[in-house]
Amino acid sequence: MSGKLGGAVIGYGGMGHFHVEKMCEVRGIGLRGIYDIDPKRSSEAQSKGIHAYESREALLADPKIDLVTVATPNDFHKEIVIAALKAGKNVICEKPVSLDSEELEEMIAAAKQYDRLFTVHQNRRWDEDFLTIRKICESGTLGRVFRIESRVHGSRGIPAGWRECKRQGGGMLLDWGVHLIDQMLTMMRAIGAKPVSVYGTCTNVTNTECDDGFTALVRFDKGPEWVVEVGTNTFVQIPRWYAMGENGSAVIEDWACNGKIVRVHQRTENNVAPISAGAGLTRTMAPRNEKTIHTYQLHKVKADWSEYYKNVVATLNGRAEIVVKHDELRQSMKFIEAVFESFRTGNTIRF
């Protein structure tokens, strides 16, 4: 493809606004307009000088559009993605790509049939907290890492609207879960590790129809064991990341990447004074003598979600390979299905 790519967004809601911004900001692509089923959203776009197509068909028929981003509620993704591919457009779909693996296969088959790029907005691969913990774990500073815990917690339940509705792909596993699972699988793929099993539980505290939180305990054929967790009824702050290695531990408390790395340089301690633990005394759990450890500040890895669009544009111009690939989407979707199955059956699911 040569010249500036023409971009359009279907679904001008919370995330649609973000995509419009990116299409205006990233070099090599320009926004041609949006389509939203809700006329109020179209009027809002027009009031900002953004062209609002009168129908999805009109948008897809515009030959100046090369790339369509689909940012509608989850239950519309498959239908709109396939229609856009059929119209000869390259497509970015919001996460979760689909409601299940079956839908995803239909979407991938359409991309093949119409020979167009089809990828998914896994923007949180460029999150600074993720890249920071990844760098810590991969740098060897903790020694062999045997456990990583990745958590996102809020206290306001599931947002109202389609996210509360099962039929529309609501619930936290298909929402935040998709991001955290994608991050985990991305990091583990980099060391050639495959998931072996998952035990998952979901919560239904504020919403009985959809999961309003979940915990997944995951084992891989090599590398660390993971805990991935999302909660929406949690009133204390829980660290975003926690990694444990043979020679140290790291914690990232929050999105700003406050946290620390503690490395041990003298494992054996003499004359450890016991501490009170409840009614008893313990040396095992007594805090370390500060002289046997080093504490380091975190060096946040800088990143930007624009990298996602830059990669898509470069791929369409034949200058890069797409980062978010079909097999990775398949793996994430199978994984999510396994968590649901584990919750339903009470069993550990083997891959």
Ligand X SMILES: NC(=O)c1ccc[n+]([C@@H]2O[C@H](COP(=O)([O-])OP(=O)(O)OC[C@H]3O[C@@H](n4cnc5c(N)ncnc54)[C@H](O)[C@@H]3O)[C@@H](O)[C@H]2O)c1
What lies within 8 Å, CB to CB, of 107 at 6+ separation is 77, 78, 81, 82, 85, 93, 97, 98, 118
Minimum distance of ligand X from residue 328's CB (angstroms)? 15
What lies within 8 Å, CB to CB, of 152 at 6+ separation is 176, 180, 229, 230, 231, 240
258 within 8 A of 229, measured Cβ to Cβ:
no
For the residues of 236-265, what is the DSSP string, one character each? S---SEEEEETTEEEEE-STT--EEEEEES
Of the candidate spans 71-79, 215-223, 261-269, 320-328, the one that interacts with ligand X by CB under 6 A turns out to be: 71-79
Question: In the bound complex, which residue of the shown chain has the CB atom lying closest to ligand X?
Answer: 13
Neighbours of 177 (CB within 10 A): 27
Q: Are strands 145-153 and 195-203 parallel, antiparallel or unpaired?
A: unpaired
What lies within 8 Å, CB to CB, of 261 at 6+ separation is 136, 141, 142, 248, 249, 250, 295, 296, 298
Question: What is d(CA 304, CA 93) in angstroms, rounded to the nearest whole number?
Answer: 19
Give the residue with the Cβ less far from ligand X, 164 or 229: 164
Question: Is position 224 an interface residue for ligand X (rule: CB under 6 A)?
Answer: no
Of the candidate residues 59, 67, 71, 252, the single one contacting ligand X (CB under 6 A): 71
- Touching ligand X, residues 112-151 (CB under 6 A): 121, 123
What is the phi-psi region of residue 240: left when phi exceeds 0, alpha when psi lies from -120 to 50, beta otherwise?
A: alpha
Q: Are strands 5-10 and 29-35 parallel, antiparallel or unpaired?
A: parallel
Of the candidate residues 14, 63, 287, 346, the single one contacting ligand X (CB under 6 A): 14
Q: x/- binding map, residues 39-68, to ligand X, per CB under 6 A?
A: --x---------------------------
Question: Is position 72 an interface residue for ligand X (rule: CB under 6 A)?
Answer: yes
Of the candidate spans 70-78, 135-143, 195-203, 335-343, the one that interacts with ligand X by CB under 6 A turns out to be: 70-78
What is the helix (H) or strand (E) element at residue 33, kind and residue range?
strand 29-35
Of the candidate residues 95, 116, 134, 326, the single one contacting ligand X (CB under 6 A): 95
Of the candidate spans 12-20, 102-110, 214-222, 285-293, the one that interacts with ligand X by CB under 6 A turns out to be: 12-20
Minimum distance of ligand X from residue 50's CB (angstroms)? 13
Minimum distance of ligand X from residue 121's CB (angstroms)? 5
Give the residue with the Cβ less far from ligand X, 14 or 49: 14
Of the candidate spans 32-40, 184-192, 280-288, 330-338, the one that interacts with ligand X by CB under 6 A turns out to be: 32-40
Give the residue with the Cβ less far from ligand X, 71 or 251: 71
What is the sign, positive or negative, of the torsion defined by CA atoms of 219, 223, 227, 230?
Answer: negative
Give the residue with the Cβ less far from ligand X, 104 or 250: 104
Give the residue with the Cβ less far from ligand X, 84 or 188: 84
Q: For binding to ligand X (CB under 6 A), which residues are involved?
A: 10-16, 35-38, 41, 71-74, 76, 94-95, 121, 123, 161, 175
